[in-house]
Structure 1
Amino acid sequence: MSVPVRRAVSADAPELARLRRLSLTCPAAPWTRPRDVPDGPWGEECQKAIAAMLDGPDTVAAFVVDASPGRLASCAVGLLLPRFPGPSSSKPFNGDISTVATDSEFRRRGYARAAMTALIDWMTVRGCKRVSLTATPEGEPLYASLGFVYDEPRMIRRAE
């Protein structure tokens, strides 16, 4: 059975922000208590940013599965990041998947896989050399089945 997936529009921003919040509650270790996500202005800021990005240049996309009118069951959200050509590739972008989430009542139905597949296809068509994401233990099997592998030498710096 095929899962109906569609590309999100800015009107989906409230639901996409809700699902982002849900994704942030995933435990850092499997089978442990969900993390607390504080309330605050970040939720409304996230919603506004998502709406603006979806209305902006074609460098951000979200693919969703609807639960009912006005409510999303699942989403996968990603960004295209410009990159300089190099000797191994002249592709113009790397991709970053920022949010993958499915409401608990809709899990184990292939919704996240369908949304992720649509997002990866969108990124590939636009010329992504590499697509990266941060995985929770619960998501690792899905991402591995879609071809993701760990690439440990990356380092990051967070601004304070």
Structure 2
Amino acid sequence: MNADTAPTAAAEPRDAAGRPPVRAATPADAEAFTRMRSEHVLSAPFTEDWVRQCTDELAPRLTPQGDARAFVVDAADGTMAACALGLIHPVLAAPAYPRGRAARVQLVATHPDHRRRGYARAVVSALLDHLADVEDVTLFELHTSTEAAPLYREFGFSGSPALMRMTRHRQRAGGVPGAQPDSTWVPPQQYADALPRAAAYVCLYVTDEDDRPLQLHSVYSPGHPWHMIGGAMDLGERPWDAVVRECREETGMIAAGPARLLATVFGLPPEQRPYSTLQLIFDGGRLTAEQIRGITLNPREHDEARVLPLAEWEALMPARDFVRLRAVEEARRTGVAAYVDTWGNA
């Protein structure tokens, strides 16, 4: 743990008593705590995988139901200037700590740009007061560096040179014969590689005022000659944003929303592609005859926009395409979202 043991200058802002303003930490502070620990406490910084893992583990512990309590001084730019974190745990009671509740001061850190301003003293003081007055902790423990020891002695901590710190880490597979691997966490990329792949698409179901579906004729896909407005989502794109983009690119119209999902369509991977397909189909509403005449097609993708009664579309498209279209039409008519998982299997 580091500490700004010799404050030499006043730092703004300060409260009415001249102390740095300290606040209680929340789960939203978990990543900042993890990075403070990684960059300013540990001898070797975390990888980004470990930052994510530790952040995910700490966040729920910073809730009232968790075992972590922490306090923060914020810098003027909103970053974390200093922090102190304690972990509460039960112990067997003794006369010196009759409540049987202990707290380990796990982390005290100050960013180098904000040291020697009394920030460490402020967050440690707030943490100890909270643990004693609110959490009823009667035993406090910590490990400290030589330079920070005077600060903790001021708060009543004492130590003995006869005490010897010992640690033991669980051996992973390969370190001890017969040891089992720790399967509680795997690197994110390894986990991602084990997940099923799916190409994500969005579609917009549009009809005329008589509820006759509008379909676009493709110039590039003979296997799907007629289909709804839509296409593949871009990386990092939200589904409705993809709908708005595809509608504008394919028809010149602006999909105004609201985003109302009519159907989810799933297909297993075809032989020539390694990915499943997942389609989200939204309601694009009803267009007037004038709006339909005003559609401007992208000639590189479509050469005709046609409106027909539902039954007449069956003869113009593959069976699986018509199954999807019929399910979407029924979803709008009944108000019950459709689920189709035979795309590519019909």
- Fold match by TM threshold 0.5: yes
Q: Is the 8 A contact 2:97 2:139 kept in 1?
A: no
How far is 1:40 from its partner? 5.0
**2:169 is matched with which residue?**
159
Within 2, Cα distance between the matches of 1:88 and 1:3? 32
SS at match of 2:73: strand
**2:76 is matched with which residue?**
68
Distance 1:70 1:45, change over 3 A: farther
**1:48 is matched with which residue?**
56
How far is 1:81 from its partner? 1.0
Within 2, Cα distance between the matches of 1:16 and 1:146? 23
Q: 1:17 aligns with which of 34, 43, 53?
A: 34
How far is 1:58 from its partner? 4.9
**1:99 is matched with which residue?**
107
SS at match of 1:124: helix
Q: What is the aligned residue count?
A: 151
Within 2, Cα distance between the matches of 1:65 and 1:146? 19
Deviations 1:22-53 (A, max 9, x none): 3424xxxxxxxxx3335252221111111110
Distance 1:101 1:92, change over 3 A: same
- Bigger shift: 84-93 or 57-66? 84-93
SS at match of 1:158: coil
Q: Give TM-score scaled by structure 1 length.
A: 0.83
Within 1, Cα distance between the matches of 2:97 and 2:69? 23
* Structure 2 spans left out of the alignment, 5+ residues: 1-17, 171-346
* Structure 1 spans left out of the alignment, 5+ residues: 26-34
**1:79 is matched with which residue?**
87
Distance 1:114 1:71, change over 3 A: same
Q: Is the 8 A contact 2:94 2:100 kept in 1?
A: no
Within 2, Cα distance between the matches of 1:70 and 1:47? 19
Q: Give TM-score scaled by structure 2 length.
A: 0.41
Within 2, Cα distance between the matches of 1:144 and 1:124? 17
Q: 2:44 aligns with which of 36, 39, 46?
A: 36
Q: 1:131 aligns with which of 133, 140, 143?
A: 140
Higher helix share: 1
Question: Computing the radius of gyration over CA atoms, which structure comes out larger, 1 or 2?
Answer: 2
SS at match of 1:3: coil
